[in-house]
């Protein structure tokens, strides 16, 4: 007999002493009557106690193994929760769960078959009377608050027959647990509550920088606005939505009150199942140990998510194409039912499936976005390090090669892993930094070091400088009161700014229609900056200057001065227009007006410059 069996017999034999005293006094007082002797009554109660112990042990095992008697019986596999294996009752659309009634009776029978002989021998040795226990036959009546067991198990004590059957009543919510569990599986398969609850949490996911962590629809209208989310960004948001969904799903009558005062997370209530609210049992929903989404059970399109508001030519408006994001998600859920009468927690696992932002049909193919074979079977190595302009490592940088998302850099700015073999674009990106995209071969991506410049967020203040062209004296004049914010003197003005990096051959265009604008997605670099002031759909002035957009400008202000001169609207030739831009740039510089400054002009006293001085 194993150590566990020894412990059980020590407990049971200890109880026999108490039972003997109780039976003796019951007999003496006439409660049991004269029909059965005290010795037989003691044996009868002792065997009944063995049956009771077997029933509780069976209930405990079935709770641990989700209605099965042991882990070897799981038909759809299992997952781990609190260090124990929990069986799937529904997986990949297939439903298979145990017959709890049959398993309970079988479990009690197996327990009695395993321990009855040892129990009888121990009883005989202790009491000095031969106890013989035969083969058990089990029947049971399952009620909401108890199980009534009838056990026929021929028993003799020194040849005297112990009355049959043994009757044992076990207080438990086993039948209510069984009714809920099977009912929930049927209800969930038809109504898909957890799918809808999860979609609700995704829809109301936290907002950061004006966008939800889990975007469904993106439409940008502010110039300079951009949204970029790779698989890892979306993964974090959806995992958070899943966890909050399960933590805030309740049965009817268990929904907490006044929750809006303590948390902003959505709360969900499962409706009555089979007309029952199951108020006598505690039902909760959980994720397995070490839960984490992976590219197989989380996919979305488009991927990555990239939206940018682009200027509409000759208007003051920026706009992006509307983007709708579709999701494919499968995740496991553990349904846990606590029986308050036994203290057992019964648990089984099911799956939640979302396809194209609705509860999924399990008949669809398992792959939402079939990955090219080249991504699924990478045969080459990649080892890159990403640093900023100061040489500091940049963690969590997204790395893509040949359109295959490989992963992110670690805390040291390094990504070491597998990559497809061949030649294709290597893309490296992180929010707040400029992007990197170069054609590379798989031989080039081992030991590669990449530098990303930060994209400083800079506030731009736009001023109109009214310029008078005095043709008689061949001079330009700017009076002391000629400077004002744009749209002050002339409504419907807007500014077109173009940043051109001749080193990287990159071009960025931004439109602004307010006196203060903001750039956030232009990496630090040396640029030729051209600015055009437009009023009533005509260019009324422009400048061009070389400017260094430094990382240290992040969070700071720049002041941009643009000329307003009537003659600009009359220029038709491109060469003449460019000459005019050069003249206006030199004019503003000569008058101390920038055109791009890190401090505003104060107490401007006016300025006059001759044509020949420019």
pLDDT at res. 23: 44
How long, in residues, is the chain? 614
Strand residues in 356-492 grouped as ranges (E): 358-359, 380-387, 398-401, 404-408, 414-419, 423-429, 436-441, 446-451, 458-466, 468-470, 475-478, 483-485
Instruction: Decide if pLDDT at 122 tops 50.
Output: yes
pLDDT at res. 274: 84
Across the range 450-457, mean pLDDT stands at 90
Cα–Cα dist 224/497, whole Å: 11
pLDDT at res. 170: 96
Across the range 23-28, mean pLDDT stands at 44
Across the range 36-63, mean pLDDT stands at 93
Instruction: Decide if pLDDT at 124 tops 50.
Output: yes
Which residues are within 8 A (CB) of 165 and not within 5 positions of it... i.e. 6 or more apart? 150, 151, 152, 153
pLDDT at res. 15: 44
For 50-109, the pLDDT digits (tens) are 999 999 999 999 999 999 999 888 999 999 999 999 999 999 889 999 999 999 999 999
The reported pTM is 0.72
- Residue 365: pLDDT band with limits 50, 70, 90: low
If one compares 377 and 547, the residue with the highest pLDDT of the two is 547
Give the residue carrying structure tokens 């030199």: 586
Longest Cα–Cα distance in the chain: 139
Across the range 442-465, mean pLDDT stands at 92
Q: Which two tokens stand for residue 189?
A: 């398969």
Q: Which of 499, 505, 409, 494 is nearest to 456 (CA)?
A: 499
pLDDT at res. 221: 84
Report all structural domains of the chain as residue ranges with CATH numbers, in order of start.
3-77+96-172 (no CATH), 179-359 (no CATH), 377-451 (2.60.40.1120), 458-613 (no CATH)
For 280-339, the pLDDT digits (tens) are 999 999 999 999 998 888 989 888 888 878 767 666 577 888 999 999 999 999 999 999
If one compares 540 and 36, the residue with the highest pLDDT of the two is 540
pLDDT at res. 287: 97
pLDDT at res. 461: 96
Cα–Cα dist 438/607, whole Å: 49
What's the chain's average pLDDT?
A: 87
For 470-505, the pLDDT digits (tens) are 999 999 999 999 999 999 998 888 898 999 998 878
If one compares 18 and 557, the residue with the highest pLDDT of the two is 557
């Amino acid at each position: 007999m194993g150590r566990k069996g020894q412990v059980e017999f020590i407990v049971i034999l200890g109880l026999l002493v108490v039972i003997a005293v109780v039976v003796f006094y019951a007999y003496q007082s006439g409660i049991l009557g004269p029909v059965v002797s005290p010795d037989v009554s003691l044996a009868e109660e002792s065997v009944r106690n063995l049956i009771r112990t077997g029933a509780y042990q069976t209930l405990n095992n079935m709770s641990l193994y989700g209605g099965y008697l042991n882990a070897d019986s799981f038909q759809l596999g299992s997952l781990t929760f609190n260090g124990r294996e929990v069986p799937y009752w529904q997986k990949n659309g297939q439903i298979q769960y145990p017959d709890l009634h049959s398993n309970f009776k079988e479990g009690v029978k197996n327990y009695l078959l395993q321990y009855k002989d040892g129990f009888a021998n121990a009883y005989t040795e202790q009491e000095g009377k031969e106890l013989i226990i035969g083969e058990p036959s089990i029947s049971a009546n399952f009620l909401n608050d108890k199980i009534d067991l009838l056990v026929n198990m021929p028993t003799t004590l020194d040849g005297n027959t112990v009355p049959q059957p043994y009757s044992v009543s076990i207080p438990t919510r086993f039948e209510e647990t069984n009714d809920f569990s099977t009912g929930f599986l049927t209800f969930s398969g038809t109504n898909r509550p957890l799918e809808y609850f999860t979609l609700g949490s995704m829809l109301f996911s936290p907002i950061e920088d004006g966008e939800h962590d889990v975007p469904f629809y993106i439409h940008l209208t502010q110039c300079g606005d951009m949204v970029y989310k790779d698989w890892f960004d979306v993964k974090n948001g959806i995992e958070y939505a899943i966890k909050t969904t399960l933590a805030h799903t309740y049965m009817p009558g268990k929904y907490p009150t006044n929750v809006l005062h303590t948390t902003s997370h959505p709360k969900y209530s499962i409706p009555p199942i089979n007309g029952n609210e199951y108020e006598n049992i505690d039902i909760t929903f959980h994720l397995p140990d070490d839960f984490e989404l992976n590219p197989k059970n989380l996919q979305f399109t488009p991927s990555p998510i990239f939206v940018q508001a682009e200027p509409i030519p000759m208007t003051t408006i920026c706009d992006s194409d509307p983007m709708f994001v579709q999701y494919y998600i499968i995740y496991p859920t553990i349904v846990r039912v606590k029986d308050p009468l036994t203290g057992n927690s019964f648990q089984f696992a099911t799956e939640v499936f979302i396809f194209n932002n609705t509860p999924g049909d399990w008949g669809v193919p398992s792959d939402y976005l079939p990955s090219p074979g080249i991504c699924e079977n990478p045969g080459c190595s990649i080892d890159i390090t990403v640093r900023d302009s100061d040489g500091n490592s940049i963690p969590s940088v997204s790395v893509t090669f040949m359109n295959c998302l490989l992963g992110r850099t670690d805390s040291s700015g390094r990504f070491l892993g597998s990559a497809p073999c061949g030649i294709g674009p290597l893309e490296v990106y992180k929010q707040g930094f400029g992007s990197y995209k170069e054609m590379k071969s798989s031989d080039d991506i081992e030991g590669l070091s990449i530098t990303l410049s930060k994209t400083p967020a800079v506030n731009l203040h736009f001023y109109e400088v009214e310029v008078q062209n005095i043709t008689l004296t061949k001079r330009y004049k700017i009076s002391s009161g000629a400077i004002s914010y744009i749209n002050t003197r002339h409504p419907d003005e807007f500014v077109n700014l173009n940043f051109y990096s001749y080193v990287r051959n990159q071009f960025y265009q931004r439109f602004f229609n307010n006196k203060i604008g903001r750039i956030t997605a232009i990496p630090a670099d040396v640029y030729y900056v051209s600015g055009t002031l437009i009023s009533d759909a005509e260019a009324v002035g422009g400048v061009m200057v070389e400017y260094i957009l430094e990382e240290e400008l992040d969070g700071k202000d720049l002041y941009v001065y643009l000329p307003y001169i009537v003659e600009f609207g009359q220029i038709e030739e491109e060469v003449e227009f460019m000459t005019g831009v050069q003249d206006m740039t030199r004019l503003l510089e000569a008058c101390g007006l920038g055109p791009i400054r890190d401090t505003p002009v104060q107490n401007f006293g006016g300025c006059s410059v001759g044509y020949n001085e420019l």
